[in-house]
Every structure is written in C-alpha cells, then in structure tokens.
C-alpha cells in the first residue's frame, strides 16, 4: 500500500470542545476516510493498516450540557439586567454578552487557573515558626461523600494535586450554607498564625466614587454567585 501525504490547514479556536481537532470534508475525501457520528469514530487506511480515531461520548455529552446551561443562564442574565433598558440597548447588550460568553465562569471549576509566568501566589510564612500537623478528625458518612465530590472537582479543574510527606496538615471541615448546600472548608488556624498579617491600606470610597464620574453606566453585576 502506498503512503499518502495530505496538507491540512487548521484554524485554532480557544473554545471548550470534546474534540482536539475537527477534520473537514477535504481531508476526509483525500484520505478516503469513513466517519461515524453515531459511534464517534473515523476510519482510514494507512501503511500499517486501518487506523481508527475515537472520540468520547461522555465528554461530548458534558460539552453539550455545559453549552446548554451557559445559554440558559445567559438568557436569564440578560432578562434581569435588561429590564430597565430600551429595546436597542437590550439587543446591543445581548450581542455583546453572546460574543464574549467564553469570558464568564459559572462555577469555580471552570476557571483553569492563572499562568505561573504571569503571577504566583506564595504564603508569607515566618521561617521561625515550627511546622504543625493537626490530629485527624473523623467525618460523618454524609460529610465524607461531600468532601470526596469536592476533591474530585478540584482535581479535574487542576486546582489541587496530591503531595507526600507534607510538613503541614490541616483537617477539612464541612459547613452547611444558608441555601442548604454543603461548603467544604479547611482549618487553617495554625497556618494563619504562622503567617504575619499584611498591612494593606483600604481603598478610599471617595476616590472610587470620583473615578466613576463621566460614565453613562456602572455595573454591580455578580453573576458568579447570583447576586444581581
């Protein structure tokens, strides 16, 4: 079987997708490939035989759910903030939000983090303070499941990672919020004592008010927690 070389031009798009690459009809026809959207597979001949490129049904469903939820929340958001706007202003605001929907994060697990070359967060600890390991506390079965789900989400988002032989150990605490859901916290009492307080001056409210002068509209929107 003779080998075949096909030149393909890709367009890179910064968007959440279950696919690492989307191959169009020119490539499919040139390679004589047989795609199947039902099985999420693409088969084509190579020198080594039949090659199969597989997709993930689970990731595709997750991507679809995320897209639907974002669209629903965006419509609700536009409906609330556009109640006092004129029709032209409401349409303009809707187009602006739709074009920049990838900027919004509807949960902390959608934020992948900050590039370490841009900024790095470090604890300002007292070097003379001894390391401390808290005694382990037992959690109830309900709390154990809550902590397990929270740790799973944080690991998938890349916010935490597993370490060994840590000098500091702190217990997790599960607290019920006002809406009835559980919040997973960490007892950083000992760690806070080892970190000296930073004397950052508070912003002056009169300077903040003066800075808003001349602007036609000011937003206090906090869509992350649902406070509008």
Q: Is 150 a domain residue?
A: no
Q: Is 83 a domain residue?
A: no
Q: Is 142 a domain residue?
A: no
Q: Is 25 a domain residue?
A: yes
Structure tokens at 165: 């032989």
Number of domains into which the chain is organized: 1
Strands 182-186 and 172-176: antiparallel
CA 179 to chain centre: 23
Q: Is 206 a domain residue?
A: no
For 155-194, how does the pLDDT look when each residue is reduced to its tens digit (9 = 90+)? 877 778 888 877 888 899 999 888 888 889 898 888 888 8
Which has the closest alpha carbon to 226: 71, 62, 76? Answer: 76
Q: Is 124 a domain residue?
A: no
Q: Chain-wide mean pLDDT for the chain?
A: 78
Contact 106, 73 (CB under 8 A): yes
Q: What pLDDT sits at residue 11?
A: 80
What residues contact 101, with CB distance under 8 A and at least 6 apart? 70, 74
As a whole number of angstroms, the distance between CA 18 and CA 60 comes to 5
Q: What pLDDT sits at residue 80?
A: 63
Range of the domain at 48: 1-55
Q: Is 22 a domain residue?
A: yes
Q: What pLDDT sits at residue 77?
A: 66
State phi, psi for 182 to the nearest 5 degrees. Answer: -100, 145
List the chain pLDDT tens, one digit each, 228 residues: 456 777 888 788 776 666 667 778 888 888 888 888 777 788 888 878 888 887 777 777 777 777 777 777 766 666 666 566 777 777 787 778 778 777 777 666 666 666 777 777 788 888 888 888 898 888 888 899 999 988 888 887 777 888 887 788 889 999 988 888 888 989 888 888 888 877 777 777 788 778 888 887 777 666 555 544
Q: Is 99 a domain residue?
A: no
For 78-103, how does the pLDDT look when each residue is reduced to its tens digit (9 = 90+)? 666 656 677 777 778 777 877 877 77
């Amino acid at each position: 079987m003779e080998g075949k070389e096909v030149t393909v031009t890709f367009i890179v798009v910064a968007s959440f997708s279950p696919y690492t690459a989307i191959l169009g009809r020119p490539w499919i026809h040139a390679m004589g490939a047989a795609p199947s959207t039902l099985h999420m597979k693409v088969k084509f001949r190579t020198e080594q035989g039949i090659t199969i490129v597989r997709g993930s049904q689970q990731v595709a469903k997750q991507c679809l759910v995320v897209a639907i939820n974002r669209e629903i929340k965006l419509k609700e958001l536009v409906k609330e903030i556009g109640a006092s706007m004129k029709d032209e202003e409401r349409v303009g605001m809707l187009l602006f939000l739709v074009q920049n929907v990838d900027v919004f994060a509807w949960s902390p697990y959608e934020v992948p983090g900050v590039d370490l070359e841009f900024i790095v967060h470090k604890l300002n600890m007292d070097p003379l303070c001894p390391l401390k390991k808290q005694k382990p506390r037992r959690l109830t079965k309900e709390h154990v499941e809550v902590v397990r789900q929270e740790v799973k989400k944080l690991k998938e988002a890349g916010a935490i990672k597993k370490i060994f032989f840590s000098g500091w150990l702190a217990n997790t605490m599960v607290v019920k919020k006002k809406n009835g859901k559980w919040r997973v916290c960490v007892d950083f009492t000992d760690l806070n004592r080892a970190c000296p307080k930073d004397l950052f001056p508070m912003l002056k409210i009169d300077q903040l008010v003066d800075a808003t002068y001349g602007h036609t509209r000011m937003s206090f929107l906090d869509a992350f927690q649902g406070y509008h």
